[in-house]
Amino acid sequence: MSVAGIGGGGGEAAGFPVTRCALCRRDVLTHVHLDERGAERRRCLHCDAEIDPLEVRWVQEDELDRLGYELVSEDGFGCGRPGCGRGNCANRR
C-alpha cells in the first residue's frame, strides 16, 4: 500500500502510528477517527477496526517497507520528470 502525506503529531512528528490489527492479522498503519462526542479513536487504516491507543507504536519511514507500505510523492508515481505519472511521460509509453 502506498502512503502519501501521513505523519504523526506532537512528539511523534517524525514517525508513523503502527499496531497489530487482530482482524487483518498483521501490523498496520492507524488513523484517528472522531466519535459522535468528538473524542479521538484510533482505527486500522485497512478495515477500520478500533485499536487500543496504548498498543500503538511509532515507526520511522525506513521501517514502513517491511510492513508492506511505501511513501509516494503527492504528484503520484513516475520517474521524476514533469508530467510523469499523469500519462504524459515518454518513458512509460
Strands across the sheet containing 57-59? 50-51, 40-44, 26-34, 16-21, 57-59
**pLDDT score, position 71:** 79
- Specify the pTM: 0.65
Spatial CA neighbour of 59 closest among 15, 29, 5: 15
Count of other CB atoms within 10 angstroms of residue 21: 21
Helices (H), ranges, the chain: none
**pLDDT score, position 4:** 45
Residue 76: all three cell numbers together: 503520484
Q: C-alpha distances in angstroms, 53 versus 42, 78, 82?
A: 6, 36, 41
pLDDT for 1 beyond 90: no
DSSP annotation of 76 reads B
How do residues 24-73 score in pLDDT, each as one tens digit?
Answer: 999 999 999 999 999 999 999 999 999 999 999 999 998 999 999 987 76
Domain boundaries, the chain: 2-92
